[in-house]
Structures are given as structure tokens and as C-alpha cells.
Amino acid sequence: MKIFDIYSTENVKVEDPGLKRYLNLNEKLVLRTVGRARERFAKAKVNIIERLSNLLAVPGHRGKKHKIITGHSSGKYSKNIKIVLKCLKIIEEKTKQNPIQVLVKAIVNAAPRDEVTVIEYGGARYPQAVDISPLRRLNISLRNIVHGAYDKAFNKKTKIEEALASEIIFAAEGKTESFALQKKNESEKQADSAR
């Protein structure tokens, strides 16, 4: 069985041992949990393609102040999945590789390892560098990939499918044009300065 009867995940390898448990690549004909992932760590059981399409629903979300909903990304499952499928087709044409493998490599490359939290001690607040859990690493990298694609497509001639495909390809190749890699480097630099 393949994902949507198109893409096989048989030979897809996750190079990061920390993310291996949380990158769900189970092959299903239709990827749709319909909000049943409710217990603890249930996100890890949701297929990575479905998680990407769910994040496309509100791609401009940067906190409560910046919630932007666009026409190309509504809450409709079928619309979001069509965007992801077109994106995977573009990736396959450009790279001549399995697009699922390219997506996994992009996620692994864009996942930050350190971030900064604030510790309050004696009335004073100090930034403190901390390691990020694997599930949060995965969440942040997916969110940054979608935000980067959204920024490239919003009010521009580029379609969301093309923008998402280029963001994933740039992240997989480790190029600095990738928004997700820029955010990862920024996060890790802040953590280094807060040690």
C-alpha cells in the first residue's frame, strides 16, 4: 500500500535518531485522523503528510495578533491535501527523487536543537539555553517550512504549491534561501549566546 496510492515510504530513511520515533511514515490510502489524536504524544502517531496539510490551514499564524486566513488555505481537508499533493509532484519533477524522502530530509535539516527559555531567579529574569524535545523539534520545523512557503506566496505571483515545494527543496539541500533554516540558525545562535 502507498500513500494516496502514489508515494511509497518503503525506502525512506530518517537520519536523525531523535526524530525517528516521531516521524510517522505509515502507509495509508487516505491520511485523515479527523481530530482523533487526543491522548498524550498523539501527534507522533499522525502521518507527517497529514500534519503538513493541517498546518497549511492557517499558514500565516504568528501568535494571536497575526492570525491571517487566506483563500488558498482554508480549513478544508481536501483543499489542503491537494496543495500538498501538487507540491510533492513538483518536488518529484525537480529533484527526480522520492518526494517523501526529500520532505523528511528537509524536516531533519530544519529542526533546531537548542532554544532559549527565561528563568526567573530572585526577581531577575535570565535567558537560559535548553535542549528541545524531539516532538517540539518536529513541530517547529514543520511550522517554519509552512511559514516560509506562505511568505513566498502571499500577495505574490508564486502559487502556494510552488512556494512550498521550493521551501522544502531548499531546506533539504541545506541552502540559506530556506526560511526554516534561517529560523533554525537564529534559534541556535540565541541559545549559544545564552549559555
In tens, the pLDDT along 23-69 reads 888 877 777 776 666 788 888 888 888 889 888 887 666 666 666 66
**DSSP-derived secondary structure letter, 114:** E
Closest-CA residue to 88 (of 15, 184, 178, 4): 4
What CATH number labels 42-193?
1.10.455.10
pTM for the whole thing? 0.89
What integer best gives the mean pLDDT of the chain?
87
CA separation for the pair 129, 131 (Å, rounded): 7
pLDDT mean over 88-113 = 94
Indicate the range of 18-27, 61-70, 74-83 predicted with least confidence. Answer: 61-70
- The pLDDT assigned to 27 comes to 78
Name the band, by pLDDT with cuts 50, 70 and 90, for residue 151: confident
Dihedral (Cα; 40, 44, 49, 52), 10-degree rounding: 60
CA angle in degrees (0–180, nearest 5) for 166-170-175: 150
Domains of the chain, residue spans: 42-193
154: left (phi over 0), alpha (psi -120 to 50) or beta: beta
pLDDT at 153: 86
Name the CA radius of gyration of the chain, rounded. 17
> What is the pLDDT averaged over residues 12-21?
90
Rounded Cα–Cα distance for residues 47 and 32 (Å): 9
